[in-house]
Structure 1
Amino acid sequence: MTSADPTRVIAIARSWLGTPYHDQASLRGVGCDCLGLARGVWREVVGPEPFPIPPYSRDWGETGPREVLADGARAMMPEVSLQSAEPGALVLFRMVPRAIAKHVGILTGPDTFLHAYERLGVIEEPLTPTWRRRIAFAFLFPAR
């Protein structure tokens, strides 16, 4: 499976900057959560979403041991090692040590990433050591 042009992935992701945060939404300029951002970028980079996302609660990440996000991404995207993840990669974060990965971002540079964050909306910010150590998985958007 070939991967999408990372420059294009980043440009599309950046077009979502300023989108307000809204649980379970995925509309650029209107509202999205972190998964909604990834879904929106997918639609523009790859095409239609391969399956519908079922409704989820705000605490979904605390309710089970299964890596739901990683399993879903792995079914559609090539996984790469954390060491080889470069700009354009989708990264999944563990927000609490030993918990499942439940936050999504897109690397935009060697030390920056873009994500949808509650109260802030879609932002691009430094990939600080705190954020970097939370990365649990990395994937590439496939080519259309």
Structure 2
Amino acid sequence: MSGQDTRIVAAARGWIGTPYRHQAACRGAGCDCLGLVRGLWREIKGAEPEQPPAYSMDWSEPARDEALWRAAARHLLAKDLAQEAVGDVILFRMREGSVAKHLGVVAGVGARASFIHAYSGHGVVETALSAPWRRRIVARFAFPEEG
């Protein structure tokens, strides 16, 4: 595990308890899953590379547009799904056949696999990366290395 991976997980754990707020990205005040990743980017990398457009709860579903996946691929490093590592950003498809639009950060691997995410009705939490969650993962990314 690199120093950056350790910092990503430590930073993500600092967001635990932040309330869920759609489109927000402010530690302690509120965020959604994208806001959590945006906030971590600011803490680890600096200024965000782009501002997301306003989005609704059902964004990109009617057009079947993988907007979140494309945005992640623009700024994060795509990884093979089998290359699980602490600090990875994982992208989920919440229902089969729907667009992928939930993000989390891997906090533990192996027997204690977990991820940190902002979840509607729960806020930012660390959740076991159980089989039902694993089945929903469609992409894996890493934050670019510093430098």
The interval holding the TM-score normalised by the smaller chain is over 0.9
Higher RCO structure (Cα 8 Å, ≥6 apart): 1
Distance 1:44 1:94, change over 3 A: same
- Give aligned-pair identity as a percent: 46
User: Structure 1: where are the runs of 5+ without partners?
Assistant: none
1:136 pairs, out of 132, 138, 143, with 138
Residue 71 of structure 2 aligns with which residue? 72
1 CA distance for matches of 2:28 and 2:40? Answer: 13
Residue 9 of structure 2 aligns with which residue? 10
2 CA distance for matches of 1:116 and 1:4? Answer: 24
2:18 aligned with 1:22, yes or no? no
C-alpha displacement of 1:143: 2.4
TM-score under structure 2 normalisation? 0.92
Per-residue CA distance 1:41-72 (angstroms, 9 max, x = gap): 01111110111111000111422222111111
RMSD: 1.3
C-alpha displacement of 1:125: 1.0
Residue 119 of structure 2 aligns with which residue? 117
Distance 1:61 1:85, change over 3 A: farther
Q: How many residues align?
A: 142
Amino acid at match of 2:136: R
TM-score under structure 1 normalisation? 0.94
1 CA distance for matches of 2:54 and 2:140? Answer: 24
2:32 aligned with 1:39, yes or no? no
Per-residue CA distance 1:5-62 (angstroms, 9 max, x = gap): 1111100011000000000000000000000000000111111011111100011142
1 CA distance for matches of 2:55 and 2:89? Answer: 20
User: Structure 2: where are the runs of 5+ without partners?
Assistant: none
Aligned-partner SS, 2:82: helix
